[in-house]
Amino acid sequence: MIKLAIYGKGGIGKSTVSCNVSSALAAKGLTVMQIGCDPKADSTALLHGGERIPTVLDLIRQKGRQLSLDDVVYKSSGGVLCVEAGGPIPGLGCAGRGIINALENLEKLGAYDVFKPDVIIYDVLGDVVCGGFSMPMRRGYADKVFVVASGEKMARYAAANICMAVENFRSRGYSSLGGIILNRRNVENEDESVAELAHDFNTEIVGAIDRSIEISNADDAGEAIVVTKPGSVPAKQFAAAAERMIEICKGAADDKST
């Protein structure tokens, strides 16, 4: 089982990347589970026509011990198994703690044993990398962390903070950095500045996604472009990124076994 986490600042296109990477892998015949770890609970919306699915935390509040896997796992038309952790009632509780609660309940319900996913993708809010938001980095969850960035100053700043957190957590046995996904915004010297960021953390750019009206239109329609236009240039870029991410994760697993 390959387990990876995708982090990035709010608005960087992290969920668009996650949904399209998940769809690209599912299209190759893999069983993919995408787990949204953002209190907004919109990680998997592009896989469901723009609609949000019920969250684990909301369902726990409603059903308590009666909660079942059928309540929390939704299969998209593209074959991706979708879960949204959710968040606390606004103004009450800790969003990070909510992610911990949701992931622990998925384990208790036996989600991984029942569905036997080949790939698990955690889509995580990346503005804060502490508490529950670091949960997917911990041992037993993601093996590799991939960071979505652009050439914009604040996006690079946030990406650097995430990369630094991953490196710091690594000494505790957490997951390691897998690479950076460049989601272009067509700013000056974008490729060079993100390449420099990758070099600073001894990692690589695993994929580059051009800014495209096709992606924007698909997002507005609540669709993953990999599903609706698999032959398009953006779909091929997402698929190439997905393939490289899996190669890196497999390589890390092989290194551990030798």
**Active-site residue numbers?**
9, 14, 40, 127
Distance of alpha carbon 126 from alpha carbon 38, whole angstroms: 9
Distance of alpha carbon 15 from alpha carbon 184, whole angstroms: 15
Locate the DSSP E strands across 61-154: 74-75, 81-84, 119-125, 144-149
Burial of 233 (0-12, 13-18, 19+ CB in 10 A): middle
Positive or negative torsion for Cα 47, 48, 51, 54: negative
Q: At residue 229, what is the residue type?
A: K
Run of H or E including 2? strand 2-8
Distance of alpha carbon 219 from alpha carbon 71, whole angstroms: 26
Distance of alpha carbon 209 from alpha carbon 19, whole angstroms: 14
